[in-house]
Amino acid sequence: LDVAIVGAGFSGLGMAIRLAREGRSFVILEKAQAVGGTWRDNRYPGAACDVPSPLYSFSFEPNPGWSRMFSPQAEILEYLERCVEKYGLAPHLRLGTEVTRAVFSSSDATWRVEVAGGEPVVARHLVLGLGPLSRPLVPEIAGLARFKGRVFHSARWPGSASLAGERVAVIGTGASAAQLVPPVAEVAARLHLFQRTPSWILPKNDRPMTAREKALFRRYPLTQRALRAFTYWTLEALGTGFTVHPVLARWVERVCRKHIAAQISDEKLRDAVTPRYRAGCKRVLLSNDFYPALARENVELVTAGIREITEDAVVGLDGIARPVDTIILATGFRATDLLTPLEILGRSGVDLNDRWRQGIEAYLGTTVSGFPNLYLLLGPNTILAHSSVVFMLEAQIDHVVGCLREAQRRRASSVEVDEVALRRWNEKLHRRLSRAVWASGCSSWYLDENGRNPTLWPGPTFEFWLRTRRFPSESYRFS
């Protein structure tokens, strides 16, 4: 095989479509029984994209049928399933195939990809589309294991979970909680929301797409392209506040404060949901129904912190035991823990996890020295806080194809990024990141345990795209 792809989410499928067009042989190895990645896993009520739908799709595959400005999870999943069908990817898909280990063989410049309970796959190149937000973070809260009721993570929502009439605890107030709290509050008898740190929340400019708009997009695809371009440049302009200087994000705080004032009348509650850190330091959320949900009679916002969980209750640091039937962990993901539990052994047997112990890094977020013919999609420092990661992903896919083409042109069997090029790339990135709003003094999933940011791209997205336009052969070694 030319290429083995791991993961069948946006990344893996996007890569596969491109390889099919390039006429390469490839296989997609997916541990779950279905495609869709994050959009297959996050099925909680209210799950939707917080990037406007005109921008949240592959550039080559616009969807004139999105039902809303911010598309719901089920529609995005359907979109990806349609892509599989349209681009004939099914014969290349191996579902239920969990990759456990991949070893590079220097003698024949191939990757040997080991899968649980099956024959290994051998391919010249290996592309990892693992998804940065795919491993749920289960918090270490005293007593969680002894709780006798139901406990689940927001990204592991049980298909049958009816919470009607139940007493529910939700832990966390990030993007997932902001979406699931309003629909759960509507059916639960009681909802206790445990907030450790409030989020800055902007109004969500959501609305259904009208039948006329959809017809227009179908008939004149250029109109949808124009809306996509408008959405792209609007988000880029808004993003400068995060990337150029934290002070520029202050206007976001003003809008958020007005949003709180407009939606919450209780002074104490207003104060409790107002963050004390710079807007943008943690991800800014979009919601019109989260604050009204907090004001419901059956909802309690608990800010006291959690002391422990007993067999049937969550006990706050205020000493109050709140009896619950179900605990929902909206506690986020292990974003800076990119590879676990995969073992990737490169040239001279070095494990990528070990290589990254001093800091996660990759050239253009994609390639790592010592690991020839290996590519990471949505790898280090490619995630965005303000726009669509699908844009970054497509630029990365272009770069991977650049590597494959250049290797072919030079009749080389291995491509490896130069150590010095990688180091320079990272030094520049981290100098910029140290001035950005994400380093302004809060804790977030963007940062690792040393306070370093291996997650976000620190500039405008067109800059990343421009860097992938021309293949930088001077940064690579071919052999």
Beta bridge partners of 322: 314
CB atoms closer than 10 angstroms to residue 110: 20
Contacts of 11 by beta carbon, 8 Å cutoff, 6+ apart: 37, 129, 130, 131, 377, 378, 393
Tokens 């002074």 — which residue? 267
Please give the size of the binding site for ligand NAP, defined by CB under 6 A: 26
Distances (CA, A) of 168 to 157, 175, 185, 332: 14, 18, 9, 18
206 binds ligand NAP (CB under 6 A): no
Interface positions, 280-299, toward ligand NAP (CB under 6 A):
283
β-sheet bridge partners, residue 309:
314
196, 225, 270, 435: residue in contact with ligand NAP (rule CB under 6 A) = 196
Among 99, 171, 324, 392, binds ligand NAP (CB under 6 A): 171
Query: Cis omega (within 30 of 0) on the bond before 454?
Result: no
d(C-alpha 401, C-alpha 74), whole Å: 30
* Strand, helix or coil for residue 193: strand
What span, in angstroms and rounded, lies between the C-alpha atoms of 352 and 350?
Answer: 6
Query: Minimal distance in Å, beta carbon 477 to ligand NAP?
Result: 35
Q: Any bridge partners for residue 208, and if so which?
A: 68
Which residue stretch of 90-98, 170-178, 235-243, 264-272 sits at the interface with ligand NAP (rule: CB under 6 A)?
170-178
Q: How far apart, in whole angstroms, are the C-alpha atoms of residue 39 and residue 390?
A: 13
**Taking contact as CB under 6 A, which single stretch among the options 10-18, 120-128, 172-180, 395-403 is the one that binds ligand NAP?**
172-180
Q: Does 139 bind ligand NAP (CB under 6 A)?
A: yes
Q: Distance between CA 364 and CA 360 in Å, rounded?
A: 12
By C-beta, is 205 or 443 nearer to ligand NAP?
443
DSSP β-bridge partners for residue 151? 327
Tell me if 332 contacts ligand NAP by CB under 6 A: yes
Nearer to ligand NAP, 176 or 243 (CB): 176
Residue 314 touches ligand NAP, criterion: CB under 6 A: no
Residue 330 as a binder of ligand NAP (CB under 6 A): the answer is yes
124 binds ligand NAP, rule: CB under 6 A: no
Contact region with ligand NAP (CB under 6 A), list: 43-51, 221-229, 423-431, 464-472: 43-51
Contact between 48 and ligand NAP by CB under 6 A: the answer reads yes
Q: How far is the CB of 132 from ligand NAP (least distance, A)?
A: 9
- φ/ψ bin of 174: left (φ > 0), alpha (ψ from -120 to 50), beta (otherwise): beta
Instruction: Tell me the closest approach of the beta carbon of residue 410 to ligand NAP, in angstroms.
Output: 39
**CA distances (Å), 428 to each of 104, 245, 423, 431, in order?**
29, 16, 9, 5
> Does residue 175 bind ligand NAP (CB under 6 A)?
yes
Q: Per rule CB under 6 A, is residue 231 in the interface with ligand NAP? A: no
Of positions 11, 63, 176, 263, contacts ligand NAP by CB under 6 A = 176
Residues of this chain that interact with ligand NAP (CB under 6 A) are: 48-50, 133, 139, 141, 154, 171-177, 179, 194, 196-197, 283, 306, 330-333, 443, 445
